[in-house]
Chains A and B, each alone.
Chain A
Amino acid sequence: MPDAIDYSEVGLRVGLEVHQQLLTAKKMFCNCPAGIYTREHDGSVLRHMRPTLSELGEYDGTALMEFKTRKNIVYLLHTSNVCTYEMDDTPPFLMNPQALDIAIEQCLMLGCDIIDEVHIARKQYLDGSIPTGFQRTAIVGVEGRLPFHGREITITQVSVEEDSCREVSDRGHLIVWRTDRLGMPLIETVTGPDLRTPDEVEEAILLVGRVCRSTGHVRVGLGASRQDINVSVRGGRRVEIKGVPRAGWAPGLVHCEAVRQINLLNLRDELRGRGFRESDDLGIEHRDVTELVADSPMDLLRAGSWERYLDNGDQRSDLERGSGPFCVRAVRLPGLGDTLSWPTQPNRSFADELRGRVRVIAGLDQPPALLHSEDWPREASATNELDRLRRTLGCSSEDGLVVVWGAEEDTLTAAEEIRLRFLDAVDGVPNETRQPFADGSTDFERILPGPDRMYPDTDSPPQRVTRERVEGLQASLPELPWSREARYTEVGVPTPVIHYLIRRGGARLVDAVVELSGADLRRACFFFGERLKGLRRAGVAVDEISDERWCELFAVFDSRPVAWEAWQSLVERLVDHPDIDLQNLVEEMGLGRAPDGWRERVAGLAAELRPVHPDGSEDQRRRFLMGRAMSELRGRVSSTEVDAEIRSRIGAEHE
């Protein structure tokens, strides 16, 4: 990773918002089944979002931005997983009590104080990710703590909320969402800004994950848990990196964001050094240059190219178009030369900050979204074009130049967004939500919303949480992950195996099996944490075996220790025949009982296989013999005994 920095020196502060889906049968505010995902749809609706004004007659910043984008929003529906609630044509039903119970349980695991009366709020989202235009959410617990490297991470609050739609596509003025995931219950765990290094962030995500998962009441698998990472450095501002799918991405993302903020602060100092302080200092102006470049050798700047980009054969391309005819607009940036190539993140420059706004807010998304004077296409003809534009706009050598193209009205929005982004640059780091990429880089997603977007849900009565309910859940709480970790470590289980077990829900099974069948803890840990992994990877549906069956299996191992060596074929049989009688099976396979004359059989094999490896070493031959013998005797005679027999036979040959 480039740019080694001292994180404490730059004052890196990171907090988390960890989203974890809860394992409920139904969704949170309707009776649709949870966890049914579809790739198809059998209905769709078209909607728009309109911001609601605050009492001050002002729009929330995000709301205003979203309104500017004037998005056509299409929701794809499937009767198998949504009803009229999800499409915002039916008010919410009462909150799923199972979801609230699991949320309370999670809060207790995180050491939170439980709220006495849970009030459902609406959190406004105008990007269309929720058809109502807001997410129903409620605080369930506050002031929790997690032990972390000898100190504590504070849990500011835990809320239970409905999940949003999944984005299908976002082009121009049309965004398409799939509604299957919408309305599934999840909890959002918010930590204080307590993390100080990128690596700590990854660890903390995994820790919160282990806490959540140790109940067995949360969903696992792709998309079941996602986190937002809030990052700032001293002098910077909180930037939210949204929807990080894997903990492993966190170190790179946090590092890159720290670098970005430091670079933006340096840019701020540079701009102030050039005398820019406030809005009036920016003399940014723009001009329609469509005519000027109508015969341009640069394909991008001609209407035909834009038309081809829009008309991709999709019948709905009309919804993607903005208002007005095709327009090319040049923006002059007086005194702002050399800022467009100002580095921000690794391999990205300030022009990419402008690009993000132009793409998201103005909806001008034909790559590369804009052209600029500091990275102009290199062909000779293009260079002439730049000179012509600079002359037309009256650019001096100190000025920068940006060109955008698309529907006329959108190019006006783009020019204004470019001005606003420079205004933010004079101020330093703008509050933003950014979209993460695997390489650690991020791109603009939206302006970070403020508390103004919260208001009570008039459709849902508050839910009382009695102390009795809390105490009942407290009593049946599973063991905390760090205490479990200590217990497993004590018997010699390595940490990665322990974490794997807790994360994937295996730890619960380990403890159940140990308790019910008297199995050895260490053996059970390795069995569920290591051995089964290989089978699972090979596609054997080991997760379909019930807890009771595992206990039965371990009871067999207990009564017939030799059978342990045949665990794999036993597990495979259990998967293939879920109803099979285990005792009969064990009898049938003769497990735990040495067959009569097995020693003679080994002797026979030894004699038979003598010529197979005439040139091979003694060891090779012995291993080969062992393999052949065990394929017949595994689970019936212990491998130690078989090995001893082979050794004695081979020894005898030499005598």
Chain B
Amino acid sequence: MSESTSDPLKGYKGRARARLQELGIRVWSDVRMVNSAGSLFEGVVLPRSESFDDLHIVLKLKNGYNIGIHVDRVASVEEIGYKEAVYKIPEQEFPSRPDLPNVTLLGTGGTIASRLDYRTGAVIPAFTPGELYGAVPELADICNLTTKKLFGVFSENMGWPEYVTLAENIEREIADGADGIVIGHGTDTMGHTAAVLSFMVQDSPVPVVVVGSQRSSDRPSSDAALNLIHAIRTAAYGDIAEVQICMFGPTSDRYGLLHRGTRCRKMHSSYRSTFRTIGDIPLCIVSRDGFSSLTDDYLHRDASRRVRIDTVYDDRVTILYYYPGMRPNLVDALVEKGYRGIVIAGTGLGHVNTPLYPALERAIDAGVHVVMTVQTLWGFAQMYVYETGRDLLDIGVVPLDNMLPETALMKLGWVLGHTDDHEKVIEMMRTPINHEITEREPHNGYLILQGGLPETDEFVSSHWK
């Protein structure tokens, strides 16, 4: 993410750009600027964010504060120097010890660790082992680390081609003898990636751990370092050879949870403890001190097992989030645009309104695969319970029990890469690969404590959140 130095007026447009040109100064000029009120400002001209207005020039003052000066209020300016920020992260060699396991960190673009450029406030991602060692030196006590930056995209820009690249790299790293693989990922679509990798990477001999952070690592209170420590520990020593998400358990700095890739969802836009296993319990607690398994029902680490990589897909799939009053032409439009699979996130046990039935029937007749999940997230699509559900079953909408809508979407795209035969598609969708459908929902698989109740508040006030 190095700054382009080609434009000496980076980010400035319109009037501000013209004024800077007129004044003969540029970004990184060290200036003494006097405004029309006679106030003197000494500092460095900073690049301006493209999305800001064209009326102000930004200075970083000597005391570290930034201010914006209106272009019309600049009375005089004197350039006394030029201080271009150098974006360089010092590296220290990541120590290697033969007695430690080998872990590979695959980067997708999320900044797990980073350094700050104090001059501009830019966050410089730390990624190479040397850079990471400087930021999180504890890692060297856990493993020998290799890193590979696969792409630099925000989490929301991840998509099918990226999933394929990830899966192929996992295959390569396993072949090269990695004892565990960590994937650094933005949190927004982490659940989607973990789900699709659960289908593309099967029978892994080693853990595949997806990790990120909810508070970026340029903040002292960041969860990034601890998440990374937990994830790397899991990859190096954990026994769960599945695709799993490793993120904070509580919002306190205490321990991380390992969630099964197919059953995990981001449930809060900003909390540290945002990831939750839905309809089941997490796999394991991981802390600095070690692991504490919550279940034995998982694929155990076995170096001799051969991984199966299966990366085909068809991205002509979508989620239809049902709402009252939905008009049938929405379904027609999807069919018309060539969508091959529709995951409905239906109400209650898996319902949509009656006017939609003919449109769904038309879609299915046209060979589109329509499956049903529930927008309540917890619970099963049990369409046989009510008349309306039974009608949908008759039309050919297939219930996916307690598969999460996003997991269903990823799986449907992956399945359609294999076959377009309806029977086969439905059979594959309804046959769980890794707990995306479970037979039983334990009573503690659904726990949303209701705050305000005396017993909840008593519990919450006596435990760290």
- B298 interfacial contact with A, CB 8 Å: no
B422 neighbours in A (Cβ, 8 Å)? none
A49 adjacent to B62 (CB under 8 Å): no
- B428 interfacial contact with A, CB 8 Å: no
Q: How far is the CA of A47 from the CA of B223 in the complex (A)?
A: 9
B217-233 interface bits toward A, Cβ cutoff 8 Å, 1 = contact, 0 = none:
11111100100000000
A464 adjacent to B218 (CB under 8 Å): no
14 contacts between A and B (CB under 8 A): A45-B464, A50-B222, A52-B218, A55-B85, A55-B88, A55-B118, A90-B270, A116-B56, A133-B221, A134-B220, A142-B41, A157-B63, A462-B68, A464-B55
- B53 interfacial contact with A, CB 8 Å: yes
Partner of A139, one of B67, B219, B464: B67
B35 adjacent to A46 (CB under 8 Å): no
Mark out the residues of chain A between 95 and 129 whose CB falls within 8 Å of any chain B CB in the assembled complex: 113, 115-119, 121, 123-124, 126
Segment with Cβ contacts to B, from A339-347, A447-455, A626-634: A447-455
B457 adjacent to A53 (CB under 8 Å): no
Partner of A57, one of B39, B87, B89, B219: B89
- B97 interfacial contact with A, CB 8 Å: no
Distance between A54 CB and nearest chain B CB, rounded to angstroms: 5
- Chain A residue with minimal CB distance to B269? A90
- B356 interfacial contact with A, CB 8 Å: no
Mark out the residues of chain B between 176 and 219 whose CB falls within 8 Å of any chain A CB in the assembled complex: 214-215, 217-219
A452 adjacent to B118 (CB under 8 Å): yes
Q: How far is the CA of A121 from the CA of B63 in the complex (A)?
A: 11
A132 and B219 in contact, given A113-B35, A117-B68, A451-B62 (Cβ under 8 angstroms): yes
- Chain B residue with minimal CB distance to A46? B252
- A91 interfacial contact with B, CB 8 Å: yes
A456 adjacent to B121 (CB under 8 Å): yes
- A159 interfacial contact with B, CB 8 Å: yes
- A41 interfacial contact with B, CB 8 Å: yes
* Given A139-B61, A451-B64, 16 extra CB contacts under 8 A: A45-B252, A47-B253, A63-B220, A77-B465, A91-B270, A113-B37, A116-B70, A117-B58, A119-B66, A132-B215, A132-B220, A138-B65, A142-B39, A143-B38, A452-B118, A454-B118
Residue in A43, A77, A131, A453 with the greatest tally of chain B CB atoms within 10 Å: A43
Partner of A453, one of B37, B58, B64: B64
A84 adjacent to B67 (CB under 8 Å): no
B116 adjacent to A52 (CB under 8 Å): yes
- A89 interfacial contact with B, CB 8 Å: yes
- A42 interfacial contact with B, CB 8 Å: yes
Mark out the residues of chain A between 341 and 373 whose CB falls within 8 Å of any chain B CB in the assembled complex: none
A89 and B271 in contact, given A132-B221, A143-B39, A462-B52 (Cβ under 8 angstroms): yes
- Chain A residue with minimal CB distance to B86? A55
Distance between B208 CB and nearest chain A CB, rounded to angstroms: 27
Partner of B67, one of A74, A89, A119, A451: A119
A63 neighbours in B (Cβ, 8 Å)? 220
- A44 interfacial contact with B, CB 8 Å: yes
A55 adjacent to B221 (CB under 8 Å): no
B460 adjacent to A42 (CB under 8 Å): yes
- B306 interfacial contact with A, CB 8 Å: no
A119 adjacent to B65 (CB under 8 Å): yes
Mark out the residues of chain B between 79 and 94 whose CB falls within 8 Å of any chain A CB in the assembled complex: 85-90
B270 neighbours in A (Cβ, 8 Å)? 84, 89-91
Distance between B168 CB and nearest chain A CB, rounded to angstroms: 34
- B115 interfacial contact with A, CB 8 Å: yes
B88 neighbours in A (Cβ, 8 Å)? 55
Mark out the residues of chain B between 94 and 130 whose CB falls within 8 Å of any chain A CB in the assembled complex: 115-121, 123-124
B382-422 interface bits toward A, Cβ cutoff 8 Å, 1 = contact, 0 = none:
00000000000000000000000000000000000000000
A46 adjacent to B221 (CB under 8 Å): no
Distance between A46 CB and nearest chain B CB, rounded to angstroms: 4
A280-303 interface bits toward B, Cβ cutoff 8 Å, 1 = contact, 0 = none:
000000000000000000000000
Q: Sorted from nearest, which 9 A-B pairs have the closest CB atoms?
A: A117-B68, A133-B220, A454-B64, A57-B90, A456-B121, A116-B70, A451-B64, A119-B66, A46-B252
Prevailing SS type, chain B contact patch = loop
Distance between A178 CB and nearest chain B CB, rounded to angstroms: 14
B65 adjacent to A454 (CB under 8 Å): yes
Q: How far is the CA of A81 from the CA of B357 in the complex (A)?
A: 50
Q: How far is the CA of A320 from the CA of B229 in the complex (A)?
A: 23
- A458 interfacial contact with B, CB 8 Å: yes
- Chain B residue with minimal CB distance to A88? B221
B123 neighbours in A (Cβ, 8 Å)? 458
Partner of B115, one of A55, A157, A456: A55
Q: How far is the CA of A48 from the CA of B253 in the complex (A)?
A: 7
- A440 interfacial contact with B, CB 8 Å: no
A251 neighbours in B (Cβ, 8 Å)? none
- B26 interfacial contact with A, CB 8 Å: no
A451 adjacent to B219 (CB under 8 Å): no
- B135 interfacial contact with A, CB 8 Å: yes
Q: How far is the CA of A77 from the CA of B66 in the complex (A)?
A: 32
Q: How far is the CA of A131 from the CA of B251 in the complex (A)?
A: 12
B64 adjacent to A452 (CB under 8 Å): yes
Q: How far is the CA of A451 from the CA of B118 in the complex (A)?
A: 9
- Chain A residue with minimal CB distance to B123? A458
- Chain B residue with minimal CB distance to A47? B253
Q: How far is the CA of A558 from the CA of B218 in the complex (A)?
A: 65
A139 neighbours in B (Cβ, 8 Å)? 61, 65, 67
Partner of A89, one of B225, B272, B457: B272
B136-158 interface bits toward A, Cβ cutoff 8 Å, 1 = contact, 0 = none:
00000000000000000000000
B35 neighbours in A (Cβ, 8 Å)? 113
Mark out the residues of chain B between 227 and 257 whose CB falls within 8 Å of any chain A CB in the assembled complex: 250-254
Distance between B68 CB and nearest chain A CB, rounded to angstroms: 3
Q: How far is the CA of A143 from the CA of B33 in the complex (A)?
A: 14
Partner of B251, one of A87, A142, A143: A87
Distance between B109 CB and nearest chain A CB, rounded to angstroms: 17
B252 adjacent to A119 (CB under 8 Å): no
- A147 interfacial contact with B, CB 8 Å: no
Q: How far is the CA of A45 from the CA of B70 in the complex (A)?
A: 43
- Chain B residue with minimal CB distance to A41? B461
Distance between B92 CB and nearest chain A CB, rounded to angstroms: 8
B69 adjacent to A134 (CB under 8 Å): no
A423-465 interface bits toward B, Cβ cutoff 8 Å, 1 = contact, 0 = none:
0000000000000000000000000000111111010011010
A113 neighbours in B (Cβ, 8 Å)? 35, 37-39
- Chain A residue with minimal CB distance to B35? A113
- A590 interfacial contact with B, CB 8 Å: no
B117 adjacent to A119 (CB under 8 Å): no
Distance between B252 CB and nearest chain A CB, rounded to angstroms: 4
Distance between A599 CB and nearest chain B CB, rounded to angstroms: 69
- Chain A residue with minimal CB distance to B58? A119
Q: How far is the CA of A337 from the CA of B8 in the complex (A)?
A: 60
- Chain B residue with minimal CB distance to A66? B220
- Chain B residue with minimal CB distance to A159? B65
B217 neighbours in A (Cβ, 8 Å)? 52
- B327 interfacial contact with A, CB 8 Å: no
Q: How far is the CA of A185 from the CA of B116 in the complex (A)?
A: 27
- B282 interfacial contact with A, CB 8 Å: no
A42 and B251 in contact, given A132-B219, A452-B118 (Cβ under 8 angstroms): no
A143 neighbours in B (Cβ, 8 Å)? 37-40
B251 neighbours in A (Cβ, 8 Å)? 45, 87, 89
Distance between B215 CB and nearest chain A CB, rounded to angstroms: 7
Q: How far is the CA of A88 from the CA of B248 in the complex (A)?
A: 14
B90 neighbours in A (Cβ, 8 Å)? 56-57
- Chain A residue with minimal CB distance to B53? A464
Q: How far is the CA of A462 from the CA of B253 in the complex (A)?
A: 31
- A61 interfacial contact with B, CB 8 Å: no
A117 adjacent to B220 (CB under 8 Å): no
A49 adjacent to B221 (CB under 8 Å): yes
A117 and B254 in contact, given A44-B464, A453-B64 (Cβ under 8 angstroms): no
- B73 interfacial contact with A, CB 8 Å: yes
Q: How far is the CA of A124 from the CA of B219 in the complex (A)?
A: 9
- B134 interfacial contact with A, CB 8 Å: yes
- A561 interfacial contact with B, CB 8 Å: no
B461 adjacent to A51 (CB under 8 Å): no
